[in-house]
Structure 1
């Protein structure tokens, strides 16, 4: 039977995959930090030897961008050393590794959306460690698919949408950066993508070639200029207004990156060009997915 190993089942993408993969006739092993610590070489080897996966989906990662600046050793262990161990084991078994990366590997100085082949130049520890993970995978594997995505949101766990909904309950100003642009992306779309890749790989139809892919909402639109975090927050509160009376976004204040003064420097332009993958699997409109998430949250 076709065996899939899904790492990081408690994260946004991991939970979305779990919700969408159950109907497939596959033998699937879901793991989290309690059952598989990808920074523990012996644990990784043991799981691979006992389960012998045909395909591995790494949905784990150290994603706290600011904390990574003073927790660099742990961030590097999870985002770089962990993928290195997974790559070695996938190489030994001939398994395909699907790995998630980020727009933070770029510096955000481009005037256009970033292509897969553009030169990486991370501005912070998080971006640097994610790039290291990519490099390890490419060094030790030929069978890999790296999916670079951005601004992931969902009904699961903590993310920008759930944080804004929580802050909406407090009668206090909400300061949101208005000079960083990117592409909000629904975790369920990422889950549907990896399920489609898994089906393609099992059937050996070759629609997906090994290598890098950008995938984010609206990234296949030539005229799409992205949205700022402030724009995203405004859209969240506009949807919330449909369920609660009053102007939910009345406390929103747009500020510059300098005024916000976060610990980690972030790219001003995080827009990814998705033309490579869109003929195979099209990204969806993030606004439609935002309505879906708000409807679930307010039900």
Structure 2
């Protein structure tokens, strides 16, 4: 039977994958740090030896961008060394490695959207460690697919959407950055993409070539060189507009736009994080993130 190893089960993407992959007829081993620490070479080797996966989906990651600035070693272990260990074992078995990366590998100074071949120049520890992970994979493997994505949201766990819903119940002003631009991406769409890549690999149809792909939510976002994307403030307004259908006028909407400098977060973030999805769109078209936002709000408010 075709075997899949999935790491990072408890994260947004991991949970979304579990919901969409269990009924595909594959033998799937879901893991998280309590069952597989991807930074432990002996554990990784033992799991690969016992399970012998055909495809490995690495959804594990250190994603706390601000905390990473002070917790550099932990971020490096999870985002760089962990993918390195997975890549070594994938090379030994001939397994396909599907790995998630981020727009944070870029510095955000482009005047156009970022394509897969643009030169990375991360501004913070998170972006640097994610780039290191990519580089380790490419040094070890030819059979890999790296999916760069951005602003992931879902009905699972803590993310920008769930944070805004929580803050909506408070009367205090909500300060949101209005000069960083990107593309919100639904975790379920990323999971569906992974399922499609795995089916393609199993059937050997060759629709997906090995290498890097950008994939993020679409609503005109990231699909033309002149597109400005949406800001975090725009995203917040979209969330409250959907919430208004369930709680008309109750949440107050005390939104205040502030600049990156005024917000003064610990980590420096790219102001332009818009990923161009032209490469993957003919194979698997990104879906409208606003429609998926409606889906998440509906589930949350049910």
Q: Does TM-score exceed 0.5, indicating one fold?
A: yes
Secondary structure of residue in 2 paired with 1:162: helix
Measured in 2, the distance between the counterparts of 1:225 and 1:258 equals 20
- Partner in structure 2 of residue 221 of structure 1: 223
- Partner in structure 2 of residue 29 of structure 1: 29
User: What TM-score, normalized by structure 2, do the two folds share?
Assistant: 0.98
- Partner in structure 2 of residue 15 of structure 1: 15
The count of corresponding residues between Structure 1 and Structure 2 is 299
- Partner in structure 2 of residue 267 of structure 1: 270
Secondary structure of residue in 2 paired with 1:128: helix
**Does 244-253 or 30-39 show the bigger shift?**
244-253
Render the CA deviation track for 1:69-119: whole Å, top value 9, x for unaligned.
000000000000000000000000000000000000000000100000000
RMSD between aligned alpha carbons? 0.9
Render the CA deviation track for 1:189-245: whole Å, top value 9, x for unaligned.
000000000000000000000000000012563263210000000000010000002
- Partner in structure 2 of residue 193 of structure 1: 193
| Alpha carbons of structure 1 residues 285 and 160: separation in structure 2 relative to 1, 3 Å | same
Q: What does residue range 175-194 of structure 1 map to in structure 2 within 5 Å?
A: 175-194=175-194
Measured in 2, the distance between the counterparts of 1:294 and 1:110 equals 33
Secondary structure of residue in 2 paired with 1:112: coil
- Partner in structure 1 of residue 234 of structure 2: 231
Measured in 1, the distance between the counterparts of 2:228 and 2:269 equals 17
Give, in angstroms, the shift of residue 249 of structure 1: 5.2
Measured in 2, the distance between the counterparts of 1:49 and 1:160 equals 38
Measured in 2, the distance between the counterparts of 1:159 and 1:34 equals 22
- Partner in structure 2 of residue 133 of structure 1: 133
Measured in 2, the distance between the counterparts of 1:7 and 1:178 equals 34
Give, in angstroms, the shift of residue 23 of structure 1: 1.2
**Does 239-248 or 253-262 show the bigger shift?**
239-248
Measured in 1, the distance between the counterparts of 2:227 and 2:156 equals 27
Secondary structure of residue in 1 paired with 2:256: strand
Q: What does residue range 1-299 of structure 1 map to in structure 2 within 5 Å?
A: 1-218=1-218, 219=221, 221-222=223-224, 224-246=227-249, 248=251, 250-299=253-302
User: What TM-score, normalized by structure 1, do the two folds share?
Assistant: 0.99
